[in-house]
Amino acid sequence: MTGSSSSDRENDGSKQDWLDSRLPVRRFLTTQFRSFPMPRSANMLWTVGAMLSAVLVLMLLSGLVLAMNYTPTVAGAFASIEAIERRVPSGWLLRSMHMAGASLFLGALYLHLFRGLYYGSYKKPRELVWLLGLLLLVMTMITAFAGYVLPWGQMSYWGADIAGKALASIPVIGPFTERVFLDGSQPGDGTLHHLFVLHFTLAFAIVAVVGLHVAGVHVAGSGNPSGVESDRKGSLPFSPYFAIKDALGVAVFAIVLTAVMFLFPDLVTESANYRPANPLHTPTNIEPEWYFLPFFGMLQAIPFKFGGLMASVGAVAVLFLVPWLDTSPVRSARQRPLIRLSMILLVASFVVLGLAGQHHMKGIWLIIGRCATVFYFFHFLVVLPFVSRRERAVVESAS
């Protein structure tokens, strides 16, 4: 018995060596995931990356089945979604998973981004990890928008119409860009076809960029809440310590997703989108999904359309400059009281902008929305460079 198990082990070992000498999968998994050193102090916010990766897999699998049953034409789109809901086996479940998953994915993405801003995760040596993350944010936003148009309900149609008009406001190339986007003068078959291809292709491109993003984290090493790079003593192997922590994060995420799907589906659905698109009837209240509301707020905060477009595009663009706007040697907001205060106000501005967007900047919301827009840019363009300069001077004079 003992003899046979030791020869089995030898056999297993030689099989692994055979594979590893040709394609070092085991060596890669061991160094990159099993013994990868993680800072001991990494808190639960460091599990959000794992949640995002897990929900991305769920989105791809559910999306593949939905795409097999979807018709990307004006005549067939709405009916094919109805068929998925009523006739495709478990179609309602897959669609509900895909819709709730998209909403929570964006929510987790914002949390991951604000974690990075708060703890200074964008600083050397993680600038490229940050930039790839932002590329993922932009790709996810485009994918989510394209997906929202696909059911061809009232909100889908009028959402595409507003996006087209926003593009048309760009000086000189605006009307051309709108035509390319809509493939005509108003949303129709061409628009739906463009957006279906974009939605499908970007979803897989996101997986490739996630690979680069995570590879970047593994080259630079993981950061931590204290902002002080951890040495060997301050680290623990990823498995089992952080593998279990990530599994806990993913389990909590799965519970929230299940609760949204089965108990609070209204949180992620818009009743107007259960009415087929009608180009002759403009809904009284056109608004995007909750995760676009802060940007929708900025779009409306400026009195002329192109200015609004610049503000909402600029709100994402400014994030790409953050590693160069914040040049302080101090990394984490834990040690930066002014940045901590400004970050709290920044998050408040983002939420308030969403509320102002939802209220269409009417009445007092216009003033509140404008103040929040100004503060959003003030944080990045004034507070970050100013505080960095002061902190640099203090550190230089102390050394």
Q: Which is nearer to ligand HEM, 246 or 270 (CB)?
A: 246
User: Is 242 among the residues that bind ligand HEM (CB under 6 A)?
Assistant: no
218 is in an annotated binding site: yes
Answer yes or no: 90 catalytic.
Answer: no
Our finding on whether 136 is near ligand HEM (CB under 6 A) is yes
223 near ligand HEM, judged by CB under 6 A? yes
- Please name the residue ranges forming H helices in the chain: 2-22, 25-29, 48-68, 77-86, 91-119, 127-149, 154-168, 174-182, 189-220, 243-262, 293-301, 305-325, 337-358, 364-378, 384-398
Pick from 273, 295, 266, 313: nearest CA to 369:
295
Task: Tell me the three state secondary structure of residue 327.
Answer: coil
Backbone phi, psi, residue 236, to 5°: -135, 155
Q: Which is nearer to ligand HEM, 69 or 335 (CB)?
A: 335
Which of 112, 123, 336, 359 contacts ligand HEM by CB under 6 A?
112
Alpha-carbon distances, residue 344 vs 72, 118, 155, 334, 339 (angstroms): 43, 9, 33, 12, 9
Is 245 annotated in the active site? yes
- Residue 281 assigned as binding residue: no
* Binding flag, residue 372, ligand HEM (CB under 6 A): no
- Please, what is the minimum distance in Å from the beta carbon of residue 207 to ligand HEM? 9
The contact pattern for ligand HEM, residues 27-56, with x = CB under 6 A and - = no contact, is -------------------x-xxx-xx--x
For ligand HEM (CB under 6 A), the number of binding residues is 28
β-sheet bridge partners, residue 235:
39
Told to judge if 289 belongs to the known catalytic residues of this protein, a careful annotator would answer: yes
Q: Which tokens hold the place of 90?
A: 């478990």
**Which of 94, 134 has the CB closer to ligand HEM?**
134
Distance, CA of 78 to CA of 85 (rounded, Å): 11
Side chain identity, residue 391: E
Which residues have a catalytic role annotated?
Answer: 218, 222, 245-246, 289
Residues that bind ligand HEM (CB under 6 A): 46, 48-50, 52-53, 56, 109, 112-113, 116, 121-122, 126, 129-130, 133-134, 136-137, 140, 206, 210, 213-214, 217, 222-223
